[in-house]
Chains A and B, each alone.
Chain A
Amino acid sequence: MNTDEILSEHIGDSHDWHIITWNGHPIELHLPILIWSKNSGWHAFSSSHLAEGQTYEGLRYNENGKVVEMLSDGSESHPIDISITKNVCGLFMVSFITITLILYCANWYKKHPLQAPKGLVGLIELVICYLYDNVVDSVIGGRNSVRFAPYLLTAFFFILICNLVGLIPVFPFGMNLTGNIAVTVTLATATFLVVNLTGTKHYWKDILWPDVPWFLKCPIPLMQVIEIVGLFTKPFSLTIRLLANIFAGHTIILSLICMIFTSISMGVTMHRSMTAVALLFAVFMNMMELLVAFLQAFVFTTMSASYISQAQVGSEEASEFEVT
């Protein structure tokens, strides 16, 4: 068996949603492909037309699984691909779950003013209050807390639900969302935009004309270069931290499961002992990932809050408390 293929299939994105292989036949959902090519315009069809290397409307998969267009001179071109892939389905699902969950809670509060919730709403309130008091209010503080809490809480719940969805191995879950760079880049960009679009005059002055000896900033803008690089390293670190953690978790769990199958060729005793060990470790890793799922969502929120609070120096709404 090819472990690499299995890993990249489970961790990566695809145009088909593979549910299970039964008697050697894969059972899968063929998802819609949406392509815009500058040569032939819009294409919209089911991915079943491209199965097993077929060419449809001049499009086919290349060796990396990307849809390419075959041109008349025999060369390949990369059209703009906004297909509804497995991960896009996952994102829609996560969005739906997040919106439903939070709006359900908000609705409960509207119906029961000044009451304390129980059950699901109580659980969500616990998480929201914990984050609001310990992250948003203690890092940002003042009236700014109310201003930025919706963004930070949305990011937290979106990431948390993405992570948890990725941990459930059966259909329709199990896609690796926050272990995909497109997802984490978007989240980090959102934080970058929030930080820099709401930044105060004082914040920009600190970047463009910091309080350092003149020779560090005048003829050669050394400090400015460092500060501007710093602007981009922050979202970059957010991107990589989340990506690496979730990606690593998925990879390790899958590798452990694969070990059960690769050890078949090593004899019965070896296979059985490897199965036991792999299972034990897989259970442990799943527990660990449950913690990481929460932790990474929490870290992303905390770091975002800290970047936001740094960009609010000197704002009227900011409290005296500042993160350095």
Chain B
Amino acid sequence: MSLFTPDFGLLFWMALAFGIVLAVLAKWGFPVIVKAVNDRKTYIDKSLQNAHEANERLVNIKAETDMLVAQAQVEKQTILKDAVQQKQRILAEAQEQVNELTRKQMEQAKADIEEQRQQSLHQIRKETADLAIEMAKKVMQSELRDETAQRQSIENQLEGLKEG
């Protein structure tokens, strides 16, 4: 059997065998494997990317939380400060109102006292005038009867006035 001139028989069977192998493997063999390997590669790449993104998001969430906490702290401080200010303001207002009220009451009292004083004064004057008129009336009456007695009487009256 020759080595360097191809035998027809071997050529025929080789073509047949290789043809069948190629047909079978090109249909059910290699495309399946290549596709499976590529799918797996894509899947792994995607998973890695997802994990990376998730990790990034996690880091972001932490930063966000930290920021929120810091904001809350600042807000708390402002609220506390506001509350203190409010308290002081309310206290001050109340004090002022109390002062105002006291002042008004004092004024009222002063006015009342003044009025009462005026009234008393008025009455005293009126009574004094009445007394004087009464006195004058009595003097006039005793003068008509007895001059000495009148004198005595005026003397007495005056004495009485002095004493009164």
Contact = CB atoms under 8 A, between A and B. Distances in A.
B3 interface: yes
A237 to B, nearest CB: 15
B6 interface: yes
Contacts of B39: 113-114
B37 A129 contact: yes
A85 B10 CA distance: 8
A180 B14 CA distance: 11
Given A98-B25, A158-B21, A13 B10 contact: yes
A181 B5 contact: yes
A186 B26 contact: no
Given A12-B3, A95-B20, A181-B5, A154 B10 contact: no
B48 to A, nearest CB: 14
A220 B54 CA distance: 70
B37 to A, nearest CB: 6
Interface in A99-137: 99, 102-103, 105-106, 109-110, 113-116, 124-125, 128-129, 132
Interface in A1-16: 8, 11-14
A235 to B, nearest CB: 13
Contacts, number: 141
A190 B18 CA distance: 9
A94 B17 CA distance: 9
A80 interface: yes
Contacts of B10: 13, 85, 87-88, 91, 180, 182-183
Nearest to A115: B40
A153 B30 contact: yes
Contact of B17 (A13, A91, A102): A91
B25 A181 contact: no
B37 A125 contact: yes
A94 B22 CA distance: 13
Contact of A13 (B1, B18, B20, B36): B1
Interface in B17-36: 17-18, 20-22, 24-26, 28-34, 36
Nearest to B20: A95
B15 A99 contact: no
Contacts of B12: 82
A247 interface: yes
The binding surface of chain B is classed by DSSP as: helix
A243 to B, nearest CB: 8
Interface stretch (A143-151, A252-260, A275-283, A286-294): A143-151
A14 B18 contact: no
Given A12-B1, A153-B30, A181-B3, A98 B36 contact: no
A182 B7 contact: yes
A64 B37 contact: no
Nearest to A84: B13
A214 B18 CA distance: 43
A149 B17 CA distance: 19
B9 interface: yes
A12 B4 CA distance: 10
Most buried by A among B5, B14, B39: B14
A195 interface: no
A186 B19 CA distance: 10
Contacts of A102: 25, 29-30, 33
A116 B47 CA distance: 15
Interface of B: 1-15, 17-18, 20-22, 24-26, 28-34, 36-37, 39-40, 43
Interface of A: 8, 11-14, 34, 64-66, 80-85, 87-88, 91-92, 94-95, 98-99, 102-103, 105-106, 109-110, 113-116, 124-125, 128-129, 132, 146, 149-151, 153-154, 157-158, 179-183, 185-187, 189-190, 247
The 7 closest A-B pairs by CB, nearest first: A109-B36, A150-B26, A182-B6, A182-B10, A106-B32, A102-B29, A150-B30
13 contacts: A12-B1, A64-B2, A66-B2, A103-B24, A105-B33, A109-B36, A109-B37, A150-B25, A150-B29, A157-B25, A182-B6, A182-B11, A186-B11
